Amino acid sequence: MAVEDELTIGEAARLAGVPASTLRYWETAGLLKAPRRVGGKRRYDREGLQQIEMVAVAKRAGFTLAEIRVILSGVSRRTPPSVVWRRLASNKLPEVEQTLVEAQAMKRILEAGLRCECLSLEDCLSGTPCG
Amino acid sequence: MAVEDELTIGEAARLAGVPASTLRYWETAGLLKAPRRVGGKRRYDREGLQQIEMVAVAKRAGFTLAEIRVILSGVSRRTPPSVVWRRLASNKLPEVEQTLVEAQAMKRILEAGLRCECLSLEDCLSGTPCG
DNA sequence: CTATCACCTCGAGTAAGCTTTAAGTCAAGC
DNA sequence: GCTTGACTTAAAGCTTACTCGAGGTGATAG
């Protein structure tokens, strides 16, 4: 049984697809518990890697670090993380949908701009050929 | 004929839907020409309002202020703004589409999270009921 | 012994786009 | 003549999530 299924920060970082400096930052920001040290150096075990993965998933979901901190800290132990997650997710969803709508609007404007034949932006604004 | 179809910064700001401080900022950032002053105060005429509207449209399209500055300044007079716009728009479109894809991915993750029945995030990560 | 490499800490710097603050001016109303 | 409100300036501050640099440690290779 491998006593050393613990990874250095560099290895954990490669696994997570982020720089080691980002893992240190997440730790100082209170998103990761300080892992065991060997000679002053961080060693990440299964649990440590899982924490990293949780942060990564939450980031992919669009949560800010502040929100992730709330999810992980569990708010007073009465509410399990999954419940906190769900509560925050239902708040976050409209935000993400808003982003989606804005990006779609941007896309339409850009595509209209590509089709536009105006010689000046003033023409565009006065709504002549394109609008 | 109203000699005073010129607006104060506050009026122009309300029209544009941004704070007056933002209009001042856009001006110092080189996005708006300094308008006529009356007793030291800015007065925006039709052209000034049009400039503001151009910046607003470009922002809605997702351009950064630096890009908008390039579009409006026309780069050496050989290329009209509309051509500059078109060139930048074709660069910007993939970025916006990327944003769209990311937001859609976030949406999927959040919706999966709302349907999730796991009691802990650890369960989620180990891919048990939801995944 | 020395070089190399990955790691350590701490403080400062970065990006973008404003917002805020302090101190002052201007025009109108009473 | 005084107050009020909108305006002026320049400079500093804010936010988020890192990133960088300096100066130092620990383990390993030659």
Residue nearest D27, CA–C1′ metric = A39
Quick: pLDDT tens for B53-71: 999 999 999 999 999 998 8
**Sorting pLDDT into bands at 50, 70 and 90, what band is B50?**
very high
- Would you tell me which residues 83-112 of chain B have a C-beta closer than 8 angstroms to some C-beta of chain A? 85-86, 89-90, 92-93, 96-97, 99-100, 103-107, 109-111
Of A91 and A131, more confident: A91
Average the pLDDT over A63-92 and give the result: 81
- Which pLDDT value is given to residue A10? 97
Would you give the DSSP letter of residue B94? Answer: H
Nearest residue, CB atoms, B85 vs list A96, A113, A122 = A113
pLDDT at B120: 66
For residue A112, the model assigns a pLDDT of 87
Tens of pLDDT, residues A1-54: 445 689 999 999 999 999 999 999 999 999 999 999 999 999 999 999 999 999
Q: What is the pLDDT of residue B126?
A: 64
- Reference B70, options B54, B53, B84, B52; nearest CA is B84
**pLDDT, position B79:** 67
Question: Given an 8 Å threshold on Cβ–Cβ distance, is A106 in contact with B71?
Answer: no
Q: Indicate which of B51, B79, B96 best probes the interface with A, i.e. most A CBs within 10 Å of its own CB.
A: B96
Measured CA A25 to C1' C12 distance, in angstroms: 15
Average pLDDT over residues B81-93: 84
A30 C-beta less than 7 Å away from strand D: no
- Is A131 part of the contact surface with chain B (CB cutoff 8 Å)? no
Nearest to A12 by CA among A36, A58, A44: A44
Chosen for mutation from B71, B97, B121 (greatest number of chain A CBs closer than 10 Å) is B121
Which residues have C-beta within 8 Å of that of residue A77, sequence separation ≥ 6? none
Our measurement of the distance from residue A27's CA atom to the centroid of its chain's CA atoms, rounded to an integer in Å, reads 15
Render pLDDT for A81-118 as a digit per residue (tens, 0 to 9). Answer: 677 888 889 989 999 999 999 999 999 999 988 887 77
Cβ-proximal residues to A119 (8 Å cutoff; 6+ apart), any chain: B80, B82
pLDDT of residue A11: 96
Query: How distant, in Å, are the alpha carbons of A12, A75, B96 from that of A20?
Result: 8, 28, 29
